[in-house]
Amino acid sequence: MYQAMRDDPLTKRLAFLGKEIREAFAARLAAHGCTMPTWSVLAQAHRTPDLSQVQMAALIGIEGPTLARHLDKLCADGLVARRRDPLDRRIVRVALTPKGERRWEELKDVRTTFDEHLTRELTDADKATLDLNIERIHRALEDAHDAIHADR
């Protein structure tokens, strides 16, 4: 486990914090017989039914071929179904099956409980400030990304 040092650059501390959070959450999911990819797909399919595979990959933050491999397994397990869009057959839509909905119901509180555990010492004002600053950092990253690609 990384021990954060106050004099480390903030970006380094945030990167290691993100890694620690992912690993801790993955361990919580594993205790429920679930993996991060399965949870990510189930959560996104529940939140936004009938997304295209391309949209889902973008929202989850993985490449299309990686998502396709996860969907192959989840389809074989009967948790999700893929279907061609009736208006554009090139588009493949993803939805939870009834079995997938039941599995989501079993898992949905894992994230909530984990979030509550991580933020138990934060006040509502702290959480609001953190949320605002996360959004600011995201905008700064987008600006940096745009600047890098504008030079090409």
Domain contains 16: no
| Closest by CA position to 26, among listed 106, 111, 101, 103 | 111
Using the predicted structure, report yes or no on whether residue 2 has a pLDDT greater than 70. Answer: no
Domain limits for position 145: 122-152
* Residue 84 shares a structural domain with residue 137: no
Question: pTM here?
Answer: 0.82
Examine the pLDDT at 151 and tell me if it is beyond 70.
Answer: no
The predicted structure's pLDDT at residue 101: 96
- Encode pLDDT of 96-113 as tens digits: 999 999 999 999 999 999
Q: Which residue type occupies 27?
A: A
Residue 5 lies in a domain: no
Instruction: Please choose, from the candidates 52, 58, 28, 56, the residue with its C-alpha nearest in 3D space to the C-alpha of residue 42.
Output: 56
Considering the domain architecture, whether residues 42 and 92 belong to the same structural domain is answered as yes
DSSP string covering 32-78, please?
Answer: TT--HHHHHHHHHHHHSTTEEHHHHHHHHT--HHHHHHHHHHHHHTT
